[in-house]
Chains A and B, each alone.
Chain A
């Protein structure tokens, strides 16, 4: 079983130059699109935007923040998970493999609810938790959101890293060994950089998939951009406009991520 998420990177389109865009059928399509946008701007209701713009910006910030933190932490967790599965002894590889299987085999929504409401249902049984220093964090929703998304990213990426570590040519490691390189230096200087380079093309896609997972945390009261659009819908009963705008916002973020990773790969 491969990674149970589609690879976003494959089948990606090459950057289209200006010349490509100027083909007749594309010009017609762009005109149709422009007409649609203009029609949207006038025929649909957008009067709610000024009122909710500050909230939307906060929500956007929350989305990006959660995405960035969970991706970075998740990747840091994925390295040992991948390493344990690729070369670890059985008492490390079996737990690592089990973790990845469980994360990849169950819906993220269920994981989020289990963490938030499941753990929450335990609090009343331990009165001391409420007087501990961690309580101000434990009672908020975002730590659970970040934890759930981090574990999820680590689960998927751990599987990818396993392949990446196994994919580094044996000869290089043997050469390093024969030079008398200590094991940690070998890992730091040869093994890890090559493995990371191997997974870089898939990382952009995985990050976009992670972005697509972030709206799920709205179900545990985190006020990110999806939750803001739900609030607009609840307050004004306008259904399609906030959803359309929301889809555009996600496409824009996905575009920025794809562009940034492409740059990163080249540079």
Chain B
């Protein structure tokens, strides 16, 4: 067993992975990845909420435009979208700023990453939330309307709380996709976990050690998020009849 460890170059792993060694770099990369994933997930939720409302209650043109948005995003590889949005995004912002007479805008890597992945997440979130809103019994919303609640209040007090339990599983998936898609930003040179790993691996030649360590970190994020989302789902379902025993 130790022989195998030596062979894989894992012998000196403990030293390489120590916090004063490359381990600190990996953790910094993880922090960046999580920051981008949080931001992108949040932005995706906002886009998704508007998108879902637009698809359900919007006019014909809004609905068609949203259909184009979700179809295009879901058919084109994230890697290609990231490249397009990354180069285009900063161009647009600078053009607008120059048009308004302002100077050049500083776009830091994290903000660019959030924008790029957020737009991608938004398309999936639109579909998840649309499904969830549709699953809310129409009677509940009609009841709120008949009490004279304004539209925004209905959304805040009735629709969103009621759809939560339907949306949580889909949103949990989206969150996992967000954490893993941050890896793609390595290709445009963001210092997130995967790029930090590649840098560490090629500097030390300990490819196995670092790729396995990074895989372990991603896996931990996935498993911890799974536990958190299970609790959220339980909370979102409070007061509802148990669905256990159903087919899914």
Contact = CB atoms under 8 A, between A and B. Distances in A.
A/B: CB atoms within 8 Å of each other: yes
Q: Is the interface of A mostly helix, strand, loop or mixed?
A: helix
Contacts of A8: 74
Interface in B167-199: 169-170, 172-174, 176-177, 180-184, 186-187, 194, 197-198
Q: How large is the interface on B (under 10, 10 to 19, 20 to 34, 35 or more residues)?
A: 35 or more
Contacts of B127: 6, 10-11
A247 B181 CA distance: 18
A50 to B, nearest CB: 23
Nearest to B130: A11
Interface stretch (B13-21, B93-101, B217-225): B217-225
A121 B206 CA distance: 8
B146 interface: no
B128 A6 contact: yes
Nearest to B197: A110
Interface string B128-163: 101100000000000000000000000000000000
Interface in B1-51: 7-9
Contacts of A122: 7-8, 208
A109 B170 CA distance: 23
Contacts of B197: 110
A125 B9 CA distance: 11
B69 interface: no
Contact of A167 (B67, B75, B247): B247
A66 interface: no
A6 B174 contact: yes
Contacts of B72: 247, 251
Interface string B47-84: 00000000000001100100100111011111111011
B89 interface: no
A29 interface: yes
Contacts of A247: 72, 76, 80-81, 84
B77 A6 contact: no
Contacts of A25: 60-61, 64
A214 B247 contact: no
B212 A114 contact: yes
B171 to A, nearest CB: 11
B222 A110 contact: no
Contact of B183 (A2, A104, A107, A246): A107
B13 to A, nearest CB: 13
Nearest to A247: B76
A24 B172 CA distance: 40
Contacts of A5: 173, 177
Contacts of A114: 207-208, 211-212, 215
Interface in A215-263: 215-216, 219, 226, 239-240, 243-244, 246-247, 250-251, 254-255
A66 to B, nearest CB: 13
Nearest to B127: A11
B55 to A, nearest CB: 9
A17 interface: no
Given A11-B131, A109-B183, A113-B198, 9 more contacts: A4-B222, A6-B174, A23-B60, A101-B223, A105-B222, A109-B184, A118-B211, A212-B78, A244-B84
8 contacts: A8-B74, A11-B70, A108-B183, A110-B215, A167-B247, A215-B80, A216-B79, A240-B84
Interface of B: 7-9, 60-61, 64, 67, 70-72, 74-81, 83-84, 87-88, 124, 127-128, 130-131, 169-170, 172-174, 176-177, 180-184, 186-187, 194, 197-198, 201, 205, 207-208, 211-212, 214-215, 218-219, 222-223, 226, 229-230, 247-248
